[in-house]
Amino acid sequence: MKIDNEMKLEFLSRSQNESFARSVVAAFVAQLDPTIEELSEVKTAVSEAVTNAIIHGYECGNGNVVIIARIIGDSVEIVVQDQGKGIDDIEAARQPLYTSKPELERSGMGFTVMETFMDQVEVESQPGIGTTIRMYKSFKTE
């Protein structure tokens, strides 16, 4: 598949960067002329993935979060990577209401939100190595 455009963003795992990250990706995706609703969906999915990297990947410690976004035709591929602790049980993590940190008042709905708002979500993770989330979404031009 021919890549029409690509961007890479790398930032420290600070919660202040969650808003920055979702805004940058939304601005990049805007060139596909999405509806306001579609853009909100992308922003929310990115926010969930970045929050997971910060809270679960790095457990609020230091590390870098990398986002790569690629535009291929009328679709976007968004990759969110961390080199944090990884996910022990990906299937469990993807279940609605599952949280590994119940003491933090988390809803456990992060992956469910990503899966609802994006067309496809793939998770690769290795304990001690890190986690890569790949999300895909098509924008139908009328």
Partner 1 sequence: MNVAFEYVNKTLIARIEGDIDHHSCDAIRKRMDNEILEKNPRNLIFDMDMVGFMDSSGIGVLLGRYKQIAGQGGKIAMIKVKPQVKRICEICGLQKIIPVYQDKRQAIENIKEC
Active site residues: 48, 52, 106
Point out which span in 64-72, 108-116, 119-127, 130-138 binds partner 1 (CB under 8 A).
Answer: 108-116
The residue count of the chain comes to 142
Can you give the C-alpha Rg of the chain in angstroms? Answer: 15
Point out which span in 41-49, 69-77, 80-88, 119-127 binds partner 1 (CB under 8 A).
Answer: 41-49
Q: Which helix (H) or strand (E) holds 50?
A: helix 36-52
**Neighbour order of strands in the sheet with 130-138:** 5-12, 64-72, 75-82, 130-138, 120-126
Please report how close the Cβ of residue 23 comes to partner 1 at its closest, in angstroms.
Answer: 10
Contact between 125 and 131 (Cβ < 8 Å)? yes
Residue 116 binds partner 1 (CB under 8 A): yes
Residue 100 binds partner 1 (CB under 8 A): no
Residue ranges binding partner 1 (CB under 8 A): 15-16, 18-19, 22, 37, 40, 43-44, 47-48, 51, 54-55, 104-110, 112-113, 116
